[in-house]
């Protein structure tokens, strides 16, 4: 079995198609038809990935996403007919890992699912075995249990935000281009989709910076990329 997936989709025809195809690819599928049913399944089962529609009855996709992100870093791939850049930014900003607009091909969906699970597995495999805490000014990151605190208060970060911050903390003198950040964190080819990097960087700064508009922990080098700030 390739992994266990929670599909949250109220459209029966799309749901049946996704379940049939991905089951044939070796995945175990659990299908929730609304947000409340999805939360019940999530609370009783461990999943390797969540496929999430945004327009759901009872509890909408964004609310479901926020609740899940308070408890888990499981990869979440948004499925939605709302394919505009604004909706993409909102979805990624709330902690989604990827986004695919309807209509989509089953081949593309399968590839994105496998890539998301592969990246998550690769990230866990690379975690250090010895406890190590890195401190930068008021910010601390425990590299063993992947927790971040500022002035002793825990900062809740998504999986991608943690990976981005870890990248800079592990390489304090290095300047990273957007392409290098994407390749390192997403472990995939970069196709110039700056919106993905911009949204995650903006959300990370909102959580760790005193003034996100004048960041000190992750500095911008205009036209080049980003580097860890010096204190």
For range 147-154, the mean pLDDT? 90
pTM, 2 dp? 0.58
pLDDT of residue 193: 65
3-state secondary structure of 29: strand
Q: At what angle do helices 178-185 and 194-208 cross, to 10 degrees?
A: 80
Q: Which carries the bigger pLDDT value, residue 1 or residue 90?
A: 90
- Chain segment 167-197, per-residue pLDDT in tens: 898 888 888 888 888 888 877 666 666 778 8
Domain 3-126: which topology? Rossmann fold (3.40.50)
For range 209-216, the mean pLDDT? 92
CATH number for the 133-228 domain, one of 3.30.360.10, 1.10.10.10, 3.30.1370.60, 1.20.1630.10? 1.10.10.10
Q: What angle do CA 122, 126, 127 make, to 5 degrees?
A: 125
The mean pLDDT value of the chain amounts to 83
Name the strand (E) or helix (H) holding 13: helix 12-24
pLDDT of residue 209: 93
Give me the half-sphere count of Cα atoms (radius 13 Å) on the Cβ side of residue 139.
Answer: 25
- Chain segment 110-131, per-residue pLDDT in tens: 888 888 888 776 554 454 444 4
**Which distant-in-sequence residues (6+ apart) come within 8 Å of 141 by Cβ?**
133, 134, 147, 148, 165, 166, 169
Give me the half-sphere count of Cα atoms (radius 13 Å) on the Cβ side of residue 136.
Answer: 20
DSSP E strand boundaries for 72-179: 76-80, 98-101, 133-136, 139-142, 147-150, 153-155
pLDDT of residue 112: 84
CA atoms of 31 and 219, how far apart (whole Å): 43
Q: Which carries the bigger pLDDT value, residue 191 or residue 28?
A: 28
Pairing of strands 98-101, 76-80: parallel
- Chain segment 32-72, per-residue pLDDT in tens: 999 899 999 888 888 888 998 888 889 888 888 888 887 78
What are the sequence ranges of the domains in the chain? 3-126, 133-228
Q: How far is residue 117 from each of residues 48, 75, 225, measured CA to CA in Å?
A: 7, 7, 27
């Amino acid at each position: 079995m390739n992994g266990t997936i929670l599909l949250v989709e109220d459209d029966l025809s799309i749901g049946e198609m996704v379940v049939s195809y991905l089951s044939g690819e070796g995945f175990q599928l659990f299908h929730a038809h609304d947000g409340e049913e999805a939360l019940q399944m999530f609370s009783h089962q461990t999943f390797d990935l969540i496929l999430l529609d945004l327009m759901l009855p009872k509890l909408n996709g964004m609310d479901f996403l926020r609740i899940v992100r308070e408890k888990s870093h499981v990869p979440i791939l948004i499925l939605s007919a709302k394919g505009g850049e604004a909706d993409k930014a909102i979805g990624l900003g709330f902690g989604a890992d990827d986004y695919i607009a309807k209509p989509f091909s089953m081949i593309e969906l399968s590839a994105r699912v496998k890539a998301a699970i592969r990246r998550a597995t690769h990230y866990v495999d690379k975690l250090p075995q010895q406890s190590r805490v890195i401190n930068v000014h008021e910010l601390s990151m425990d590299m063993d249990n992947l927790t971040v605190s500022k002035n002793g208060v825990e900062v809740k970060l998504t999986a991608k935000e943690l990976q981005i911050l870890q990248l800079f903390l592990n390489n304090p003198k290095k300047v990273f281009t957007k392409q290098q950040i994407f390749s390192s964190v997403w472990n995939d080819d970069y196709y110039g989709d700056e919106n993905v990097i911009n949204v995650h960087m903006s959300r990370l700064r909102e959580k760790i910076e005193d003034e996100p508009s004048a960041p000190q922990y992750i500095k911008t080098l205009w036209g080049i990329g980003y580097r860890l700030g010096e204190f």
